[in-house]
A = this chain, B = another copy of it.
Amino acid sequence: MNIDYIKDYGEVIPFNGAFNLKPKEKTVKKQIKLSKQNDNKVYTSIQELIKKIGLKSGDTISFHHHLRNGDKVTRIILKACEELGINDLKLAISAIFPVHNFIVDFAKKGIVSQIDTNYCVGEVANAITRGLFKKVAIFRTHGGRARAIYAGDLKIDVAFIAASASDEAGNINGIMGKNAFGSIGYAMPDADCAKISVAVSDTMYPYPLSNPSITQDKIDYVLMVDEIGDPNGIKSGTTDITKDPIQLKIAKTTANLIYESGLLKDGFSFQTGAGGISLASAHYVKEIMKEKNIKGSFIMGGITAYLVNLYNDGYFSNIFDVQDFDLEAVKSLRENKKHYEVSSSLYANIHTSSPIVNKLDCVVLGATEVDTNFNTNVITSSNGYIMGGSGGHSDAAAGAKLAIITTNLIRTRKAIVKEKINSITTPGESINALVCEYGVALNDKTLAKILKNSKLKIIDIKDLAKLANNICGVCEFEKSNKKIVAVVEYRDGSVIDVIRQK
């Protein structure tokens, strides 16, 4: 990274190590409101509300992604903006799914000019890669988005916060109502810092709403719509354990690695994704805990029925929940006493007194590419097209004592481990080990000593790269000078990479 300035992003602070950027005292301009006794907050006309709050072209509007591929709120708001002739909007949306493909049209029409997100799949991802948006996209981590909002780096004019339940004063949550989606943790920084916060809901409860996740002091308006979305859409992708024998082997090796590391003992804390290998790893970890009678402390990450069962069966005594991946998880958040909803800042913001990721023993993560320094890509595919994002990847990797990448060495005839990768999302220094079907590659000398006499097959990552190379052929890596279409911001606000047009 030797770029000083990126248009429509600003000055670049180059990434210089996971814990080396000391934050400055920030000057945050905060709009403070005057609330009167009988202020009415509830609107049913979107256009009337947008006029009332003075939303205008060039503004930054934010959305959370808790409804994932079932979200209807972003479309409702953008459509109203279109009708009112508002354009050049910056869309700060914590993640983008195929349900948001319509945004491409809004980009073509000039209504949306810039994307600021933590994860992006579908047509919007392709459109960014092809340089279709007027302004460069910004990819952050989940914790990095919270950091940017609190630091004033990401200034939100209006936050539109989908809520499955609201009362007339703006107490809201995501666990009640016909379209309950669970934790609303990603919207908490927005509610704290946006100039104007609008709850968008389809179910009104009598005042006061029980168990509000965001309270009335932080919500300026409540917009009532027919449907905020389809909560079945939160189950995006697979949330079942893989049946693929190679992936099961990787998962089993991963569980053994965790056990041999010495971390898997009473008080163990664990984060895992919802993908096939991740869930299978959780399964094998559970088997060891069962055999050895180990009682864990907390599980974290996108919460699924599988993790809820680990809690219900007593393997872990707490769940920290920043988002839910199925309706069983939503039910658990509603009912289980030690299933806690947490904000993305508490979860992963490096610039707080301490995020929960810092208390993690182990996290199991995925990758689209890994280089021989363990630098990991989870944003682009090996052909350079955007097809994901960090989400909590860099955050959990930096915080956890043991961060493990699990992956097949080769996928769809392409090497995952290689000399050079298209784009760096998470720095290699945060990764302790990589597990593939050929064995375990280590990036941690202390861990290497601990594992010296274990039965694990330890293999040098360079040998893995060679092996993949031999099977797939030389990985062509073209250096591009095309325009920058996305900035990859590390969790501390520095820039770890850029993505160029395809």
Quick check: A216 and B356 within 8 Å, CB to CB? yes
Contact of A35 among B37, B218, B358 (CB under 8 A): B358
Contact of A150 among B32, B36, B345 (CB under 8 A): B32
**A344 to nearest B CB, angstroms?**
10
Contacting residues, chain B, for A25 (C-beta < 8 A): 29-32
Is A354 engaged at the interface, CB distance under 8 Å to the other chain? Answer: yes
Q: How many copies does the complex hold?
A: 2
- A17-31 contacts to B, CB under 8 A, are 19, 21-31
Is A413 engaged at the interface, CB distance under 8 Å to the other chain? Answer: no
Is A126 engaged at the interface, CB distance under 8 Å to the other chain? Answer: no
Is A351 engaged at the interface, CB distance under 8 Å to the other chain? Answer: yes
CA distance A147 to B151 in the complex (A): 20
Is A74 engaged at the interface, CB distance under 8 Å to the other chain? Answer: no
With A36-B19, A208-B298, A217-B345 already in contact, the answer to whether A354 and B26 are too (CB < 8 A) is no
CA distance A361 to B39 in the complex (A): 15
**A98 to nearest B CB, angstroms?**
33
Is A197 engaged at the interface, CB distance under 8 Å to the other chain? Answer: yes
**A150 to nearest B CB, angstroms?**
7
Is A334 engaged at the interface, CB distance under 8 Å to the other chain? Answer: no
Interface residues on chain A, size class: 35 or more
Quick check: A29 and B32 within 8 Å, CB to CB? no
Residue of B nearest to A400 (CB): B37
With A358-B35, A358-B36, A359-B169 already in contact, the answer to whether A27 and B29 are too (CB < 8 A) is yes
Task: Produce 1/0 per residue, A468-497, CB < 8 A to B.
Answer: 000000000000000000000000100000
Task: Produce 1/0 per residue, A1-42, CB < 8 A to B.
Answer: 000000000000000000101111111111111111111010
Residue of B nearest to A399 (CB): B37
**A431 to nearest B CB, angstroms?**
14
Is A420 engaged at the interface, CB distance under 8 Å to the other chain? Answer: no
Contacting residues, chain B, for A34 (C-beta < 8 A): 19, 21-23, 350-351, 492
Is A259 engaged at the interface, CB distance under 8 Å to the other chain? Answer: no
Task: Produce 1/0 per residue, A244-285, CB < 8 A to B.
Answer: 000000000000000000000001000000000000000000
**A261 to nearest B CB, angstroms?**
15
Is A220 engaged at the interface, CB distance under 8 Å to the other chain? Answer: yes
Quick check: A354 and B150 within 8 Å, CB to CB? no
Quick check: A354 and B169 within 8 Å, CB to CB? yes
With A170-B353, A217-B354, A354-B41 already in contact, the answer to whether A32 and B23 are too (CB < 8 A) is yes
Is A372 engaged at the interface, CB distance under 8 Å to the other chain? Answer: no
Residue of B nearest to A298 (CB): B208
Contact of A355 among B31, B35, B151, B297 (CB under 8 A): B35
Contacting residues, chain B, for A22 (C-beta < 8 A): 34
Is A207 engaged at the interface, CB distance under 8 Å to the other chain? Answer: yes
Residue of B nearest to A20 (CB): B34
CA distance A207 to B358 in the complex (A): 12
Task: Produce 1/0 per residue, A338-365, CB < 8 A to B.
Answer: 1010100110011111111011000000
Contact of A354 among B28, B216, B346, B401 (CB under 8 A): B216
Is A318 engaged at the interface, CB distance under 8 Å to the other chain? Answer: yes
- A149-202 contacts to B, CB under 8 A, are 150-151, 169-170, 197
State the 6 A-B residue pairs at the shortest beta-carbon distance, nearest first. Answer: A217-B352, A23-B32, A35-B354, A32-B351, A217-B346, A220-B353
Binding site for B on A (CB under 8 A): 19, 21-39, 41, 147, 150-151, 169-170, 197, 206-208, 210, 215-220, 267, 297-298, 318, 320, 337-338, 340, 342, 345-346, 349-356, 358-359, 398-399, 401, 492
Q: List 28 A-B contacts (CB under 8 A).
A: A19-B34, A19-B36, A26-B29, A26-B30, A26-B32, A27-B27, A27-B30, A32-B147, A33-B351, A33-B353, A35-B352, A35-B355, A38-B358, A169-B358, A170-B354, A197-B353, A206-B267, A206-B297, A207-B359, A208-B297, A208-B318, A208-B356, A215-B346, A216-B346, A216-B354, A217-B346, A217-B353, A218-B352
